[in-house]
């Protein structure tokens, strides 16, 4: 009589590979794919253009013009909110175009192009004003 309790179950295999080999192959494939993805992201960062914007100049000129405008406080508050939203949208547009935007006052030295005037014109366009109006 044969002892069926003494026999071991056949090893599970897939295409002549055991479970450990399959897991190792999947781990190596995952590491290679992650390496390709990380390299692509690092190279994309290298291609980004650094630019500066003088936000204090933009904000100072607007606040000064609003202070002299003689508008009611509610209207001034509405215009300031609209101006801040326009500045934020303009800077976000620069970021979407593949640029890293630095605040000019925070940059110690360097040769990054200053896009303050382009942001000023974009903000004026978003607010419905004449593009070269400096108020």
Question: Is residue 121 located within the same domain as residue 110?
Answer: yes
58, 117 contact by CB (below 8 A):
no
In terms of pLDDT, which residue wins out, 72 or 48? 72
**Total number of domains in the chain:** 2
Nearest to 116 by CA among 61, 66, 77, 46: 61
Give residue 116's domain range.
48-127
User: Percent of the chain at pLDDT above 70?
Assistant: 81
- DSSP letters, 48-84, are PEEEEE-HHHHHHHHHHHHHHS---HHHHHHHHHHHH
| CATH value at residue 64 | 3.30.910.20
Confirm whether pTM is higher than 0.75: no
């Amino acid at each position: 009589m044969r002892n069926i309790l003494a026999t071991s179950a056949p090893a599970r295999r897939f295409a002549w590979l055991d479970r450990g080999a399959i897991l190792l192959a999947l781990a190596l494939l995952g590491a290679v794919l992650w390496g390709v993805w990380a390299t692509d992201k690092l190279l994309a960062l290298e291609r980004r253009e650094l630019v500066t914007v003088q936000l204090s100049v933009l904000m100072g000129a607007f606040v000064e013009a609003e202070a002299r405008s003689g508008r009611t406080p509610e209207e001034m508050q509405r215009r300031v909110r609209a101006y801040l939203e326009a500045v934020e949208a303009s800077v976000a547009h620069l970021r979407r175009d593949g640029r890293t935007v630095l605040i000019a006052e925070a940059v110690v030295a360097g040769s990054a192009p200053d896009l303050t005037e382009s942001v000023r014109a974009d903000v004026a366009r978003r607010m419905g004003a004449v593009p070269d109006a400096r108020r």
